[in-house]
Amino acid sequence: MALRILGIETSCDETAAGVVEDGRVLRSNVISSQAELHSRYGGVVPEVASRQHVRDLAPVLERAVESCGMGLEDVDAVAVTYGPGLAGSLLTGLNAAKAVAYSLGKPFIGVNHLEAHIYASWLTPANPADAPGFPLACLVASGGHTDLLLMEGHGVYRLVGRTRDDAAGEAFDKAARILGLGFPGGPEIQRVAQGAAGGFSLPRAWMRDTHDFSFSGLKTALLHLAQGQGVYPADSENALDDGAMAAAVRELAAAFQESVVDVISVKLVEMARKYGVRGLVLGGGVTANARLREEILRRSPLPVIIPPPVLCTDNGAMVAACAYYQHQRGEQWPLELDVEPGLPLG
C-alpha cells in the first residue's frame, strides 16, 4: 500500500496543501496565493499574512484531499513546514497540522522549508537519488535564501554558499519596486524583460574565492541607473513619456535579471565542479525564472533537475515529498513542536 502524506505549507504568503504518495507521486497540489492581498503594500505584511492563512487553511486542506478522491481520514501522515519563515504564518499551518494529525491519530512530521524546496525535484520524472545519484549540488533560491548546498544523501546537507545580504528573490522584489512593477517582483521582471535589446549592463558581485553571494550592491546600481534614465522616481519632473518609460523599464529589468542569472549560474556550476557532484538540483521561487533555468542548463556539463515552475514556488506537495524520506528514516515528531523562524539547513 502506498504511503499517502498530506503536506501543509504556510511559511510566507501561500496557503498550500498537497498529497503525495511514497514521496514521488503527486496526487494533489492546492495553492491559495495571497500575492494580490500584499501587492498594494509592495511586500508581505506578516500580520495580514497570518490572518489570511487562518481563513484559507480549512478550505485548502479540504480541496487537497477531496481533489484526489480522499477524505482526511485516508491520509497516512501529516507533514508541515515549521521553519524557516514568518513566525505567525508558520504557526497557523503548524497548529492545523497538529490538530489534523492528533484527531486522526496519524503521525505528525515537521519539515524544513528549504529541504522541502529541494525535494520538489523528486516530484519530477527524475529521482535524483537514483539518477544522477548522490552527491548533488543544490541551489535553493527564494525570497529569503540563496543557498548552495552539498547533498550527500537523504537528509544530509552541507551549506557551502549563501547570500551575505539580500536573497535573490528579495533582490528581484526590490528591483521590481524601483522599476514601478508589481509584487512579487520576480515574475514581473521576467515578463517585462522579454524582448529587451540588451543595451544596459549592471555589475556582477562575483565574490571571488567563496561560494557566497551578494545582491545588495546590484540593487543600488539599478537604483542609480534608473534615476539616471528618468525611470525612478516615477513621478519626477523629468518623467519619461509612456512609450519611452516602458522601453527603459524593459532594458533595466533585463540588465538586472541577466546580472543575477549570470552570477548564480556560474557559481552553482563552479561549486558543482569543485565538490565532484553527480548532478544539480534546483528549488525555490527564483528557480522558476526562465532565464536562470536556461542558463544553468546551458552551462552545466552535469544533469540538472528542475521542478516545473509551480513546484519551485511555495507549495504543500514538496513538504509531503520531503516528509516521506523523514518518515522512512523513522523520525518521530512530538506534537509540542514549535515554529523555528530562523531554522537553518546544512
- Could you tell me the smallest distance in angstroms from the CB atom of residue 160 to Zn ion? 20
CB of 285 to Zn ion, least distance (A): 6
Nearest-approach distance from CB 190 to Zn ion, in angstroms: 17
Which of 169, 279, 307, 346 forms a contact with ligand KG4 (CB under 6 A)? 169
| Chain residues that interact with Zn ion, rule: CB under 5 A | 142, 314
Nearer to ligand KG4, 172 or 213 (CB): 172
Residue 330 CB, nearest approach to ligand KG4 (Å):
28
Candidate list 32, 52, 289, 326; residue touching ligand KG4; CB under 6 A: 289
Identity (one letter) of the amino acid at 321? A
Long-range contacts of 267-270 (CB under 8 A, 24+ apart): 267/148, 267/161, 267/206, 267/211, 267/213, 268/137, 268/139, 268/148, 268/296, 268/300, 269/296, 269/299, 269/300, 269/301, 270/211
* Cβ proximity to ligand KG4, 4 vs 162, nearer residue: 162
Q: What are residue 33's phi and psi, to 5 degrees?
A: -90, 140
Closest CA to 16 of 34, 39, 3, 43: 34
Angle, CA 319 vertex, CA 313 and CA 324 arms, to 5°: 145
Does residue 190 belong to the site contacting ligand KG4 (CB under 6 A)? yes
Q: Does 184 bind ligand KG4 (CB under 6 A)?
A: yes
Question: What is the smallest separation between the CB atom of 295 and ligand KG4, expressed in angstroms?
Answer: 12
Q: Least distance (Å) from ligand KG4 to the CB of residue 336?
A: 25
Distance (Å, whole) CA 266 – CA 98: 42
Query: What phi and psi values does residue 279 have, to the nearest 5 degrees?
Result: -170, 175
Site mask for ligand KG4 (CB under 6 A), range 119-148, x = bound:
-----------------------xxx----
Residues near ligand KG4 (CB under 6 A), total: 19
Does 316 sit near ligand KG4 (CB under 6 A)? no
Q: What is the DSSP string of 115-151?
A: HHHHHGGGGSS--TIIIIISSEEEEEESSS-EEEEEE
Rule CB under 6 A: is residue 88 a binding residue for ligand KG4? Answer: no
**The Cα angle at residue 256 between residues 254 and 262, in degrees rounded to 5:** 95
The residues that touch ligand KG4, with contacts defined as CB under 6 A, are: 12, 142-144, 169, 172-173, 184-187, 190, 284-286, 288-289, 313-314
